[in-house]
Amino acid sequence: MSDYYDVLGVAKDASQEQIKKAYRKLAREFHPDVAGPGAEDKFKDVGRAYEVLSNAEKRRSYDMGNDPSAPGGGMGGGFGFQDIFETFFGGGQAQRGPIPRARRGQDALIRLDIDLADAAFGVRREIQVDTAVVCGTCSGSCCRPGTSPRTCDVCNGRGTVQKVARSFLGQVMTTAPCAACQGFGTTIPEPCAECAGEGRVRSRRTVVVEVPAGVETGNRIKLTSQGEVGPAGGPAGDLYFEIRERKHEMFLRRGDDLHATLEVPMTAAALGTVIELETLDGLESVDLRPGTQPGQIITLKGLGIGHLHVGGRGDLNVHVEIQIPTALSEEQSDLLRQLSVLRGEERPEGRVSAAHPGVFTRLRDKLSGR
């Protein structure tokens, strides 16, 4: 641990005024602008010693054998090394030079509503968007036609100005953005009347969006450099379309598969039949085998949603629901009684088994949050 009293060259019983005076003298002597870059470590040591000895509590702890300073710690009273270097070196602004007037524009996000069929097969859409475009009058120069930017008379094109400030180290030079040109280094003496010197205007234009098969709610489609043009005709940002899929009245989507419920009469399920079902691809024949049971799933391969970026399609799963008649005529009732006699079911014995809801019921309950 360094002897901070030796670093500042003061006695252990030195007063705060003596410590401050010694620090100011050494800080000026070892400042890198005066002594060169090689003195930077010594300058930091002096600052670290002052940080400890200028604070009564830290000095008391140091005198007891502890070192309360931290690497890069403050220089007393909340004035740290970062503040010192920014004061002397201008915080980096002077090193960057003037700020470019032309800057990248913002990204834009637009919601795009699509139908289930659009998600299944993909779709090409033309969308009207209101956005910033390069000013057609000044072509992004911000100036009235025939004029040009002028070098700032205050900062001479540097974009920054230097000011003398007083501190406990004496007079120091600070650097700040030029207020006359806002740091650009140039001024616009005669702004373009069309864009008010912005170099861009608001306009409505048409963009084409290729929606690939397989997209779903929450997916985003990026159109590079189709967003807002930046100030002074700077590069455009990106344009994003966020997909929102409309709910379908017949089909329920689960991933790339579709699910639908097919209600059939009890007799059709018992005897078997062929039913025409309207799908996203048009009419398809659904073959009900004799003895089809409630909850049975008939899968129509390749009639679901297209797989995103990989080709192929999911399936359409048809969940069979049996309709039990609730109002029978006397003749119909007689026929069913005769059938029950023929099948030996006039006095059926109940058979209990474990409850297990159908696949579609479980799927529906999960999606509805039940």
- Report angle CA 76, 93, 43 to the nearest 5 degrees: 35
Find, among 250, 252, 251, 286, the residue nearest to 269 by Cα: 286
Q: Is 143 annotated as a binding residue?
A: no
Q: How far apart are CA 152 and CA 180, in angstroms?
A: 7
Least confident among 68-77, 163-172, 331-340, 358-367: 68-77
Instruction: Report which of residues 70 and 142 the model is more confident about.
Output: 142
Please tell me whether 152 is known to bind a ligand: yes
Start-to-end CA distance of the chain, whole Å, equals 67
pLDDT tens digits, one per residue of 224-250: 999 999 999 999 999 999 999 999 999
In angstroms, the CA 109 to CA 222 distance is 9
pLDDT given at position 368:
56
pLDDT band at 47 (very low <50, low <70, confident <90, very high): confident
Residue 189: its pLDDT value, please?
Answer: 92
pLDDT tens-place string over residues 129-165? 999 999 999 999 999 999 999 999 999 999 998 877 6
pLDDT in tens, 289-302: 999 999 999 999 99
**146 secondary structure, DSSP code:** T
- Considering only residues 129 and 82, tell me which one the structure prediction assigns the higher pLDDT: 129
87: confidence class by pLDDT, cuts 50, 70, 90: very low
pTM: 0.63
The tokens describing 320, both together, are 């069979």
pLDDT band, very low/low/confident/very high, at 326 (cuts 50, 70, 90)? confident
Q: Which residues contact 45 (CB under 8 A, 6 or more apart)?
A: 2, 7
Q: In whole angstroms, how far apart are CA 216 and each of 18, 32, 138, 243, 309?
A: 73, 61, 42, 6, 13
pLDDT at 3: 85
CB 228 within 8 A of CB 237: yes
The residue behind tokens 């170099």 is 199
142 is in an annotated binding site: no
What is the spatial distance between Cα 320 and Cα 95, in angstroms, rounded to a whole number?
74
- If one compares 369 and 196, the residue with the highest pLDDT of the two is 196
Alpha-carbon radius of gyration of the chain: 40
Q: Which of 33-47, 126-140, 220-234, 269-283 has the lowest mean pLDDT?
A: 33-47
Burial class (CB in 10 A: 0-12, 13-18, 19+), 191: middle
Q: Give the DSSP letter string of 242-291.
A: EEEEPPPSS-EEETTEEEEEEEEEHHHHHH-EEEEEEETTEEEEEEE-TT
Tell me the domains of the chain and their CATH numbers: 4-79 (1.10.287.110), 97-247 (2.60.260.20), 252-367 (2.60.260.20)
